[in-house]
Every structure is written in C-alpha cells, then in structure tokens.
C-alpha cells in the first residue's frame, strides 16, 4: 500500500463527516457496570434472586447460564467475577480446543497458588463434545475454577449429566417490552436525544428486537444513523430503513421446538387463531413446509383420531397439495388443514389404545392365540384342534359371533375407549351394542 492511500481513506471519512476513531458501538457503551444495572433478569438478580442470595453468602458455585442471545449472560458472568474478586477468564467453545482448555486450567492453578481464584466463563459451552465437557470436572471439583458456562441450547440435551450435576442451571429470559424500553431510555440519555420515532414505530422497534437487548441497541443505533435532522419515522418508514430483521429462529434449536410445540398445543386446545399465528411464525422464519405438513398429519392421528376420520384424509391432501403447488400457494393448503384440525372434535382414544396394546404385547410375551381362530392347513394341525369351533361371523345373527379372540392366558382386554364426541359417538354405540350381544350369548 502506498503512503498516499491512508491519507485518501482519512479524506473519505472527513468528506462523509465521520471520525476515523468512531465511538464504540452503543451496546458496548451501555454495557452494565454493576449487577444492579442489568435489565430483564430480576428473577435471578432481584432482591430474592438466586445470584443475589449467592453473593450475600459469598458462596458462588459453578453455574450454567441458559437463555437466548442478548439477555446478558456474558455481562453477568463478568460482573460476578468483579463482585467476588475472582479473575475473569473467558474462552469460547467455538474457537477453543483441548490445548486452550489445558492452558486455561494451568493458568488458574498458578493463580490459585497466589491466593487468587478464577471464574472461567465458557461461551457456547454446549459446542464442546462430551470428552471436552468431562475435562472440566476435575478443576470444578478441586476448586481450581468456578465454571460459568453460557448456552442458548437446552442443557438437558446438550450437556452431559456429570457436568450438570456439578453446576446449577440459571435460566435467562428474553427481555420483555418494558426491559427493552429501559434500554432505549438509557440509550437516549447517552446520546442526548430521543429516538426519532413516533409511538407506533417505537412499539414496532421493540418487537423487532425480539427480546434481544444487544439487538435492540444495535437497531436503535441504526435508526439514529438514518435520521436526518428533525426527521421522525413512522412504522412503515422504520421497516423500510431497517429492512426488518429476520426472526430469531434456528431450525435445529429450541426456537424450532418451542414453536412447533405451541402450534400442536393450540390445535389440541381447539384455538384456530393461535394455531394459525404459530404456523405463520414458522413459515415466516423459513421452516420447511413439508416438515409442518408431516407434523399436521401427526396431529390428526394423535389428537383427532376417529372423532373425525376425515381429518387424516384432509391433512394428507394438504401435503399432496403442497407437493403439487409448492410455495407460497401450497402453504395455504397446510393452513387450511390446521384450521380443520383446530375446529374438529378431539380424541386421543385411538392413540391411547394403541399405546396400551403395545405395552400389553411387550409384557405378556409370545402367547398363542386361541385355537379356534388359527388356520389348520395340515391334518396334524386339525388333530390338534386348530380352527375347531370357529364361528363365521357373517353366518351369525347380526353378523356377530361374540367369540373371544384374545389368548386364553391373557383374557379379554379393553384398550379402546372412545369418548362420546364426534364420529366416535357412533363407534361407542356399536361397541356398547356388541357388548350387550356378548352378555346375552354368555361370551362377554
């Protein structure tokens, strides 16, 4: 690079009215300086919060911070180290390996010999494999480090049991609207001016932050950069300026499972509006429509069953319609199926019956069916009584023999108990009628 190039770069900054040594980003300037400055986590940092009690007793143990991005996990870990006079050491599981861990542990041991403890903060701790997670156990047990791990993933699934048994899990919540507004107010004090937004646009900006404190301040900073003197943006202008952040949604992470769970339970709870909302959230976030179609089929089987036999037919038709039409037209077919399921009569009788039958089949062993319903293709089998006494139902009154078809050692079982709802009301009548016939013929 020639000596002239840096001067040209400086001239570019000057021409744009910008300083080369720009101030730190707003989220960094607003980083809390004490635990009392942290917003949105009063359940762990309030007067009766778990961390407050630990600090009062000066008994800080190893911790796992579980929560979405931008909720203060790193900041709280750093402030905990300050409050307990521990050396703060930070590593990231994304960029660290065994050698980095060994180096951190050795440094902590050396520090301990001088009377100084270490708070080892491990960001994205769930990214370490099981063997790497096991390497923390000895230094946690002998007090070489106080481990504080941060994860956006469910620790129950991503961290091994040995590590979890030695650390307390604290859940960090997404920031609610009031907490985001507190951050905006703090930002306005630092900037010395209000956000150039009308009331509706400000509410939209809060929603765009999606519970992420760091993201909320980054968005606010973008708004200030975009506004000309005296300009105030409305909601439509705000969305145009920011080009709207994509929803926070990792199809392999908790956001994915939380929303599909919410969709399923809304359908089961007969709330078509809530079900459509969660379906739209997942479509908007880029979820695979065929994944949703498969889950909708599952809902038809599990939660509607024979209360409305058409439910499964309609859900399979919606899947075929999506296959045929693709996006976005095919998504309407899945939405239509969701509405049908949410408004259908509900029954898990078939689902429950099958589960009970599977359990009995596993527990009862390989019992032989009664001989009267066994085929007898050979003379030997006939001589053993196979097929003897079988009554052909179509030749019987009401096309019903009432014979017992369970193994003799097991006895008659009842798995399917349909409710008095939807089409299963008719099935219930049939089953009750057949049971009366069994009783009359002495076979019930």
* Residue pLDDT, tens place only, 93-106: 888 888 889 999 99
Give the integer Cα–Cα distance in Å for 324 and 330: 8
Q: 341, 265 in Cβ contact below 8 A?
A: no
User: How high is the pLDDT of residue 7?
Assistant: 47
Mean pLDDT of 420-430: 92
Matching CATH number, 367-441, of 2.60.40, 3.40.1340, 1.10.3710, 1.10.150: 1.10.3710
312 class by beta-carbon count within 10 Å (0-12 exposed, 13-18 middle, 19+ buried): middle
Asked if residue 435 lies in contact with residue 444, where contact means CB atoms within 8 angstroms, the answer is yes
Pairing relation of β-strands 146-151 and 63-66? parallel
The rounded mean pLDDT for the chain is 87
- Are residues 279 and 263 in contact, defined by beta-carbon separation less than 8 angstroms? yes
pTM of the shown model: 0.62
Give me the pLDDT at residue 21, please. 53
Q: 168: which 2 tokens?
A: 């307390």
To the question of domain 31-171 being in CATH 3.40.50.300, the answer is yes
Per-residue model confidence as pLDDT tens digits over 331-375: 999 999 999 999 999 999 999 999 999 998 888 878 888 888 888
Over pLDDT 90: what percentage of the chain?
47
Question: How do residues 173-216 score in pLDDT, each as one tens digit?
Answer: 988 889 999 999 999 998 899 999 999 889 889 888 888 899 89
CB 351 within 8 A of CB 300: no
What's the residue count for the chain?
444
187 near 80, Cβ under 8 Å? no
> 250 or 165, which is more confident?
165
Using alpha carbons, list the distances in angstroms from residue 2 to 8, 9, 19, 100, 431.
10, 12, 22, 39, 92
Give the CATH number of domain 254-343.
1.20.272.10
Non-local CB neighbours of 121 within 8 Å, separated by 6+ positions: 74, 77, 78, 81, 88, 89, 90, 91, 148, 149, 150
CA nearest neighbour of 263 among 301, 308, 293, 307: 293
Q: Which helix H or strand E contains 119, and what residues bound it?
A: strand 118-123
Residues of the chain with CATH 3.40.50.300: 31-171
Task: Look up the CATH number of domain 177-242.
Answer: 1.10.8
Where does CATH 1.10.8 sit in the chain?
177-242
Output the pLDDT for position 149. Answer: 94
Query: What φ, ψ does residue 166 adopt, rounded to 5°?
Result: -105, 5
In the chain, which residues fall in CATH 1.20.272.10?
A: 254-343
């Amino acid at each position: 690079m020639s000596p002239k190039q840096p001067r040209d770069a400086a001239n570019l900054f000057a021409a744009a009215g910008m300083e080369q040594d720009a101030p730190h980003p707003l989220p960094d300037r607003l980083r809390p300086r004490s635990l009392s400055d942290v917003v949105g986590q009063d359940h762990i940092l309030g007067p009766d919060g778990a961390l407050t009690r630990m600090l009062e007793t000066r008994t800080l143990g190893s911790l796992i911070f579980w929560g979405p991005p931008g909720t203060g996990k790193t900041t709280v870990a750093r402030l905990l180290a300050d409050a307990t006079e521990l050396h703060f050491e930070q590593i990231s599981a994304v960029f660290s390996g065994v050698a980095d861990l060994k180096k951190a542990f050795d440094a902590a041991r050396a520090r301990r010999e001088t009377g100084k403890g270490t708070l080892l903060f491990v960001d994205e701790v769930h990214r370490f494999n099981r063997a790497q997670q096991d390497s923390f156990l000895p230094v946690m047990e002998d007090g070489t480090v106080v481990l504080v791990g941060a994860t956006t993933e469910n620790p129950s699934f991503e961290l091994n049991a040995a590590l979890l048994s030695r650390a307390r899990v604290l859940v960090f919540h997404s920031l609610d609207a009031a907490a985001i507004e507190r951050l905006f107010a703090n930002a306005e004090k630092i900037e010395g001016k209000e956000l150039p937004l009308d009331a509706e646009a400000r509410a939209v900006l809060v929603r765009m932050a999606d519970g992420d404190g760091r993201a909320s301040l980054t968005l606010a900073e973008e708004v200030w950069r975009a506004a000309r003197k005296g300009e105030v943006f409305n909601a439509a202008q705000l969305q145009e300026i920011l080009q709207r952040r994509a929803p926070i949604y990792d199809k392999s992470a908790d956001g994915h499972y939380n929303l599909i769970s919410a969709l399923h339970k809304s359908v089961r709870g007969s709330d078509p509006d809530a079900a459509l909302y969660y379906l739209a959230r997942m479509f908007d976030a880029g979820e695979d429509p065929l994944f949703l179609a498969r889950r909708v089929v599952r809902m038809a089987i599990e939660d509607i069953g024979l209360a409305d036999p058409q439910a499964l037919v309609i859900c399979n038709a919606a899947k075929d319609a999506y296959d045929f039409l693709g996006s976005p037209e095919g998504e309407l077919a899945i939405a239509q199926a969701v509405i049908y399921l949410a408004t259908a009569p509900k029954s898990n009788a078939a689902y429950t019956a099958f589960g009970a039958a599977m359990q009995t089949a596993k527990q009862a062993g390989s019992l032989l069916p009664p001989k009267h319903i066994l085929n007898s293709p050979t003379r030997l089998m006939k001589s053993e009584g196979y097929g003897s006494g079988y009554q052909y139902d179509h030749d019987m009154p009401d096309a019903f023999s009432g014979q017992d078809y369970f193994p003799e050692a097991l006895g008659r079982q009842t798995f399917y108990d349909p409710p008095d709802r939807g089409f299963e009301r008719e099935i219930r009548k049939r089953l009750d009628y057949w049971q009366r016939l069994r009783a009359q013929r002495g076979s019930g």
